[in-house]
Structure 1
Amino acid sequence: MSERTQGILYLLSAALCWSLGGLLIKLVDLDPLGLAGARSGIAAVLIWAYLRRRSAITPHIEPGIVGSERFSFTTQIRKQKNVILGAIAYAGTVTFFVVATKQTTAANAILLQYTAPIWVAFLSPFLLREPTSRIDWIAVVVTFCGMGLFFIDDVATTARTGDLLAIIAGIFFALCIMALRKGRDGTAMRMVLYGNIIAALVCAPFLIGNSLPAEDILPLITLGVGQLGLGYIFFAKGIARVTAVEGALIPVLEPILNPLWVALAIGELPSYWSVVGGLVVLTAVTGRGVLREFKSKNSKFKMENH
Structure 2
Amino acid sequence: MSEKSKAVFLMAATALIWSSGGLAIKLVEWSPMAITGVRSALAALTLVLVFRGRLKFGVSFVQLGAAVGYAGLLITNVAATKLTTSANAILLAYTAPVYVALLAPWFLKEKTSRSDWLFIAVTVGGMVLFFVDKLSATGLWGNIIAVATGFSYAIFTLCMRAQKSASPVESVIMGHMITAFCGLPFMFGSTPSAESWLGLIYLGIFQQGISLALYTWAIKRLGALEAILIMTLEPIFNPILVALGYGEIPGKWALVGGFVVIGAVTARGVLPLLKREKAVNMQRRRIK
Q: TM-score range by the shorter chain?
A: over 0.9
- The answer for the alignment partner of 1:276 in structure 2 is 256
Paired residue for 1:123, among 93, 103, 111? Answer: 103
Letter in 1 for 2:38: A
Paired residue for 1:177, among 133, 157, 160? Answer: 157
- The answer for the alignment partner of 1:288 in structure 2 is 268
Offset, 1:50: 0.7
Offset, 1:100: 0.3
- The answer for the alignment partner of 2:8 in structure 1 is 8
Q: Distance in 1 between matches of 2:211 and 2:164?
A: 22
Q: Distance in 2 between matches of 1:181 and 1:297?
A: 22
Paired residue for 2:144, among 142, 159, 164? Answer: 164
Letter in 1 for 2:49: A
- The answer for the alignment partner of 1:132 in structure 2 is 112
Q: Deviations over 1:233-275 (max 9, x none)?
A: 1111111111110111101000111111110011100000000
Offset, 1:9: 1.1
Offset, 1:281: 0.3
Offset, 1:300: 4.2
Q: Distance in 1 between matches of 2:208 and 2:249?
A: 24
Q: Aligned runs of 1:149-298 on 2, under 5 Å?
A: 149-298=129-278
Letter in 2 for 1:20: S
State the Cα RMSD in Å.
Answer: 1.5
Give me the TM-score of the superposition, normalised by structure 2. Answer: 0.95
- The answer for the alignment partner of 2:27 in structure 1 is 27
Q: Distance in 1 between matches of 2:281 and 2:184?
A: 52
Letter in 1 for 2:233: L
Offset, 1:186: 4.5
Offset, 1:303: 5.9
Letter in 2 for 1:136: D
Q: Distance in 2 between matches of 1:135 and 1:235?
A: 29
Q: Distance in 2 between matches of 1:117 and 1:234?
A: 23
Q: Distance in 2 between matches of 1:103 and 1:113?
A: 14
Alpha-carbon contact 1:146-1:281 (below 8 Å) kept: yes
Unaligned runs of 5+ in 2: none
Letter in 2 for 1:3: E
Paired residue for 1:110, among 62, 86, 90? Answer: 90
Q: Distance in 1 between matches of 2:5 and 2:160?
A: 26
Q: Distance in 1 between matches of 2:158 and 2:236?
A: 25
Once structures 1 and 2 are overlaid, which stretch shifts more, 268-277 or 137-146?
137-146
- The answer for the alignment partner of 2:48 in structure 1 is 48
Q: Aligned runs of 1:84-99 on 2, under 5 Å?
A: 84-99=64-79
Unaligned runs of 5+ in 1: 61-75
Q: Deviations over 1:66-89 (max 9, x none)?
A: xxxxxxxxxx52xx2211110110
Q: Deviations over 1:129-176 (max 9, x none)?
A: 210122222111100000000011121110010001111011111110
Give me the TM-score of the superposition, normalised by structure 1. Answer: 0.90
Alpha-carbon contact 2:34-2:184 (below 8 Å) kept: yes
Give SS of 2:165's match: coil
Letter in 1 for 2:101: A
Q: Distance in 1 between matches of 2:45 and 2:283?
A: 46
Letter in 2 for 1:42: L
Q: Distance in 2 between matches of 1:211 and 1:217?
A: 9
Is 1:143 paired with 2:141?
no
Alpha-carbon contact 2:160-2:166 (below 8 Å) kept: no
Offset, 1:215: 1.7
